[in-house]
Amino acid sequence: MISADAELVAQLQVGSETAFRTLVERYQNRIYRTVLALLRSPEEAEDVAQEVFVEVYQTIGRFRGEAALSTWLYRLATSRALKNRRRAQARKRFAYFTNLLGFDNQLVPEPADNAHPQAQLEGQQQVALLLAHIARLPDQQQVAFTLRHEQDLSYEEIAAVLNTTVPAVESLLFRARKTLRTHLQPSLRHV
């Protein structure tokens, strides 16, 4: 088995299939969970996670090691997930407006609010409410929050993924938590 990420990258860059399998085995669950937290659709998350690994396979030759391999993977994953979500939102808006104008008879269905695996463990309503509020956070806050609380990345690792500073990450997380607390406290009192 390939132990260090640097060795793994070197083997990937010479086209080792074993190294690629090792990469996928090592990171697939973390990448999938990160993308799932951002998209809230298991099917979309699987597709995006696969796209991330395909992109890694195709572009590993350009990886210079300026950041950790995991940082690069998280950066690719969050970028693709946000891009996918924006594309889906644009399709929904387009479908809504074409329906209003009489060009189309179908609306794009809303994604399930409780598709996250933890919903079964923590209570469907509270998790759905939390996910809905996380989804309303600005993109950078949402990514920082997800990487911190879903993946347990350090502030330094999050800063590397977001290509920013640790104080900026602290600020993003502070604002995300403050926003979530403000929106969730009234709802959770009634539960």
Domain boundaries, the chain: 1-111, 113-191
Domains 1-111 and 113-191 share a fold: no
- pTM equals 0.64
**129 token code pair:** 């409410």
- To which H or E segment does residue 123 belong? none
Domain 1-111, CATH class in plain words: mainly alpha
**102 token code pair:** 């009489």
**128 token code pair:** 């759905």
The pLDDT, as a whole number, for residue 162 is: 93
The pLDDT, as a whole number, for residue 124 is: 62
The pLDDT, as a whole number, for residue 47 is: 94
**89 token code pair:** 């939102």
Which residue from 129, 105, 99, 103 is spatially nearest to 116, judged by alpha carbons? 129
Crossing angle for the helix pair 69-100 and 17-39, to the nearest 10 degrees: 50
CATH placement of domain 113-191: 1.10.10.10
Whether the Cβ atoms of residue 187 and residue 130 lie closer than 8 Å to each other? no
**118 token code pair:** 């933890």
d(CA 121, CA 113): 15
The pLDDT, as a whole number, for residue 49 is: 95
**Radius of gyration of the chain from its Cα atoms, rounded to whole angstroms:** 19
The pLDDT, as a whole number, for residue 91 is: 57
- In the chain, which stretches have pLDDT less than 70? 1-3, 88-125, 127, 187-191
The pLDDT, as a whole number, for residue 100 is: 39
Whether the Cβ atoms of residue 151 and residue 37 lie closer than 8 Å to each other? no
Q: How many CB atoms lie within 10 A of CB 31?
A: 27
The pLDDT, as a whole number, for residue 96 is: 45
Taking the chain, what is the end-to-end CA distance rounded to the nearest angstrom? Answer: 49
The pLDDT, as a whole number, for residue 123 is: 57
